[in-house]
Structure 1
């Protein structure tokens, strides 16, 4: 069965745009050491490129869903892609880390407009097959993050500015593709930021958001901080995180649905959090051994892909709230919390030891596991889990 017969064309179009959009996260990874060296920036300062991006993206997700119900999902997608294209190009011209951080923050706003709306569109046009569509979305996201480091590594060998310029060009291509192929879907009822915040009144959304935040803290400690620890060149870092991202795809598109079917969502998600915490713990105790850290990073991609898919599925189905409200509330809380992981890791690593940040990441993921197990009844899995 081909992709066109399995998925709605709008799903494929949005998934492709998602791939292009998420290149922008991974493309920065292999050039972080180069930026730090060229601009004489500390680990803490260079990690602001991730923190500003995630912080603004998380905050913007509060109103992204509301905006989509007012101006339409397609226009919101295009607005997000346009912002990314412009400010990625501006990053290529920046002359200081502070300027880069500001531009990356605005870039994050564009990514928020796209991401929240893309997920709602994919689920909305996939009636009866939403789980498969979400897996495709997460796979596209993972593939974008995977190819980002590879592209960033290749272009970054010449100059750290080239990956930003390349991302801007790809964003323009994605903009044209979305404009020509995606029709405006049926809109959900109008909502406001207050409606999105009101979703947190649902205990299941609150619990899911807390688990997502704690997991995301560990996720971005691994993704954003590890390039500064490995001591590799841009191209080598690109290869490492390409391997990681490739396994993110396998974890989200293949491993997650199969394990959920066999063991149930509760056991699969809990097992994923346990395994991720174990990986982070070994990274903490590794003594900074490059080969061991590289192996752990790559293997972690499998677990990250599984958890990304499962937690996203939970966010979309945990309550009776609209898809955009549920995903907006979940992703906003998740990314705002995760935004503090890069600068926290950069500061701790610089002052207390290169691998110490992984100890904190281990603890946060374990707390997320305990929250999941302790308040599992709020996730509404009773029906799906009854067979396991």
Structure 2
């Protein structure tokens, strides 16, 4: 808790940015009805968002090196505030899909840079800075759907205007408290970073490539829940918001308190594999009991606890996976991670249309199972992660 005020400014802004990520979850069915769109078309709100994030992650370290961390964060949050405000005026699903792509650009600039900022500014080391980052993600991703559901219960446009107002508050907090003097703290001059640096890092360091592919595969399961589960729960926006509030609270608690304990007792890789196995089981429950609303709701909430552990474990592993700049490692890893997140939503919608509503969850479970197998096949390239963390 003893952190510089700049850390808390970034933390607060990160909470707001992550709120936007799950904001549309509770209103997906509402959007489908009001805008006369197929579920697969509505899931494009996640696909466009994540696809642009994946590509934009490749330029975040370059932009940050030129603008400085403060102004990169402010630029990202400014873009989000603008496109979310415009989203409130959208008249069709394709306008929203396009605006969500812009939202993805803003989030990429903000999210990747926020992790670097917290690591640079924190007074208590990398591990605790990552926990702060995951705590911000957990709080934001729990409160976001609740806010989206509450405002969406009044009108589907409300969540877009609401998040825009919150982004303005985050913008002001960063402008006021984040250091910007060259040579000070997080904005100390950095060597110019090549746009090719993330690709070079993936090519030269197999450990980074392996963890990125694992994250891509696991995110297919993650975003199957985010983008498709709302269609099978059959709840009103406000009720959906409460479900994802429970999901996010468990995500926040496990990412901050449980994951570090697992890491110390069993090591990162063993703990990660165990949590991925639990995630496979959770998705299988959703796939087998899709027609039982209560079973899906319980499985979605339980998934939050599993995903909180996985997020912290894999992010910590990536930061120690390869001897490259943390911003470069984050860009390379996030590029692969969000490719999986981009593929999943639209794929889930189409699988349900062509087969039935159980298939997206079963396929998601298959991809997560594949991520476990991939870790086993490439264990020799990433086992040093546990040794590095023990040294810390």
Deviates more, 1:193-202 or 1:174-183: 193-202
Over the residues paired in the alignment, what is the CA RMSD in angstroms?
1.3
Q: Deviations over 1:306-364 (max 9, x none)?
A: 00111111121111110100000101111022111000001111221112101110010
- What is the Cα deviation at residue 26 of structure 1? 1.1
Where in structure 2 are the equivalents of 1:281-296 lying within 5 Å? 281-296=284-299
Where in structure 2 are the equivalents of 1:219-298 lying within 5 Å? 219-298=222-301
Flag the 1:386–1:50 CA change in 2: closer, same or farther, 3 A: closer
- 1:133 aligns to what? 129
Residues 51, 341 of structure 1: 8 Å contact kept: yes
Aligned to 2:196, the other structure's residue is in SS state: helix
4+ long deviations beyond 6 Å:
none
- 1:338 aligns to what? 341
Flag the 1:244–1:187 CA change in 2: closer, same or farther, 3 A: farther
> Aligned match of 1:33 in 2, 6, 29?
29
- In structure 2, stretches of 5+ residues that fail to align are 181-185
Structure 1 position 188 matched with structure 2 position 184: no
- 1:199 aligns to what? 201
- What is the Cα deviation at residue 11 of structure 1? 2.2
Structure 1 position 92 matched with structure 2 position 96: no
Deviates more, 1:370-379 or 1:166-175: 370-379
Residues 64, 328 of structure 1: 8 Å contact kept: yes
> Aligned match of 1:383 in 375, 381, 387?
387
Q: Distance in 1 between matches of 2:363 and 2:385?
A: 30
Q: Distance in 1 between matches of 2:27 and 2:287?
A: 23
Aligned to 1:31, the other structure's residue is in SS state: helix
- What is the Cα deviation at residue 377 of structure 1? 2.5
TM-score (structure 2 length as normaliser): 0.95
Aligned to 1:339, the other structure's residue is in SS state: helix
Deviates more, 1:173-182 or 1:187-196: 187-196
Q: Distance in 2 between matches of 1:384 and 1:120?
A: 19
Q: Deviations over 1:222-264 (max 9, x none)?
A: 1111001111000000000000000000110011001111111
Structure 1 position 105 matched with structure 2 position 97: no
> Aligned match of 1:49 in 35, 39, 45?
45
Structure 1 position 162 matched with structure 2 position 158: yes
Q: Distance in 2 between matches of 1:257 and 1:144?
A: 20
Q: Distance in 2 between matches of 1:187 and 1:205?
A: 26
Residues 198, 331 of structure 2: 8 Å contact kept: yes
TM-score (structure 1 length as normaliser): 0.96
